[in-house]
């Protein structure tokens, strides 16, 4: 069942936001995600772009069970129907996904709904108006996950902090070496995939990211 995360309680969107990588081995994926959560990630987004739907549902269900054990929200990338079927805690929407207000109607008032805003402040303002829980800007730095992604500058993040009143997440190429500059720009959270899940010491890397917020 969906946990009762109140989408109006923006305080939950703070710190390290973990997004799962494409990974065929479910056991390894779950183990790495557990280390990320134990390292202090406040939320996990299940994201997979290469696996078939049956495998994705199996993986997402396993990640969701893990998150339930730790009391951490788990949301689904792009797939509103999968979120509804599995009763995950919400969904992250991209440029070509469903309307935020319609998704809110489907998933309910307490669902966490994130919106990718790339390098577009106006898009973030519209997402806020439509009822998004948080907005995400990026890629902040070059990223292997989305090599052609538009770049969101630190100046844009600072401007967004002045203009946007819901939590702001930065994503794209963030590592322990550059995260401090992003956090200093005023974002509420950083979303990390590669430099977290491919770290030699995943839990310790998560802890390092989290300490930068204090």
Which residues are marked as active site?
47, 116, 146
Instruction: Return the structure tokens found at 83.
Output: 């979120």
Strands (E), 8-150: 15-19, 43-46, 74-77, 90-93, 112-118, 134-137
Cα separation of 71 and 91, whole Å?
17
Helix (H) or strand (E) holding 60: helix 53-70
* 3-class SS of residue 82: helix
Say whether 9 sits in a helix, a strand or coil: coil
């Amino acid at each position: 069942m969906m946990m009762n995360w109140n989408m109006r309680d923006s305080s939950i969107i703070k710190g390290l936001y973990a997004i799962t990588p494409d990974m065929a081995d479910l056991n390894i994926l779950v183990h790495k995600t557990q280390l990320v959560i134990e390292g202090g990630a406040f939320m996990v987004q299940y994201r997979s772009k290469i696996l078939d739907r049956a495998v994705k549902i199996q993986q997402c269900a396993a990640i969701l069970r893990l998150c339930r054990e730790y009391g951490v929200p788990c949301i689904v990338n792009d797939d509103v129907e999968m979120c509804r079927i599995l009763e995950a805690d919400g969904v992250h929407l991209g440029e070509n996904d469903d309307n935020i207000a319609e998704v809110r109607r489907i998933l309910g008032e307490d669902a966490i709904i994130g919106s990718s805003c790339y390098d577009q402040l106006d898009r973030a303002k519209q997402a806020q108006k439509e009822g998004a829980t948080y907005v995400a800007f990026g890629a902040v730095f070059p990223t292997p996950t989305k090599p052609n992604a538009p770049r969101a500058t630190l100046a844009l993040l600072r401007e967004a902090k002045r203009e946007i009143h819901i939590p702001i997440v930065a994503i794209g190429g963030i590592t322990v070496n550059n995260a401090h500059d992003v956090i200093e720009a005023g974002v509420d959270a950083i979303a990390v995939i590669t430099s977290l899940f491919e770290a030699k010491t995943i839990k310790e890397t998560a802890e390092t990211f989290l300490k930068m917020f204090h």
